[in-house]
A = this chain, B = another copy of it.
């Protein structure tokens, strides 16, 4: 069976977003520092509609290129999709990524509020209202033999981890202390065993892939 993988950037003090997130600063104060290593990479720029010639090549770029071609479906939470909980409203937000989002595979958005399928460029967003297991089942159907990626946010990652459904985590540890915000890992009694599968060093960030004992 294909794997369910989390891929996410965190600060050294464990946050996926800084304090006080807002529409203008969806990653909270300082949160963009977690992704500086990524957004300057050529692969990121190409996937997001910018000129890859203006991006950097090298180790971090290779990690992004590898990761972007490694999944056949994506799962994310509503807050990652649009920055807030709650009903969709009359002219619902279509995500942060413009007319041609970088995913190019089916994306399953976990939400409590039903919404019709949204097709943007090569990406199809489906909104799943009946929980993480259903989202995973639909993502596996869509991805075939390819892996399914959980992209965040923290709450969705925590739900899959706590349910024992994650096979792998690739954590990008940025050399940043945020001092507050949203933590990736929740407190709790049941913690799975991990194994370091791969470490890739770069001056900008440390990429560690953990396998999770099932």
Contact = CB atoms under 8 A, between A and B. Distances in A.
B191 A179 contact: yes
A179 to B, nearest CB: 4
A13 B180 CA distance: 14
Given A175-B194, A177-B192, A185-B12, A201 B199 contact: yes
Highest count of chain B CB atoms <10 Å: which of A176, A184, A194: A194
Copies in the complex: 2
Contact of A179 (B190, B202, B203): B190
A210 B11 CA distance: 13
B179 A187 contact: yes
Highest count of chain B CB atoms <10 Å: which of A180, A190, A204, A205: A180
A204 to B, nearest CB: 7
Interface string A170-214: 010101111110011111111110111001011111101010000
A38 to B, nearest CB: 15
A106 interface: no
Interface residues of A, number: 34
A196 B187 contact: no
Given A185-B13, A206-B206, A177 B196 contact: no
A176 B190 contact: no
Contact of A187 (B180, B194, B201, B210): B180
A191 B203 contact: no
A175 B206 contact: no
A14 interface: yes
Nearest to A197: B203
B194 A203 contact: no
Given A14-B14, A187-B180, A210-B12, A175 B199 contact: no
13 contacts: A12-B185, A12-B194, A12-B210, A173-B173, A175-B194, A175-B196, A177-B185, A177-B191, A179-B185, A180-B189, A195-B203, A196-B204, A199-B201
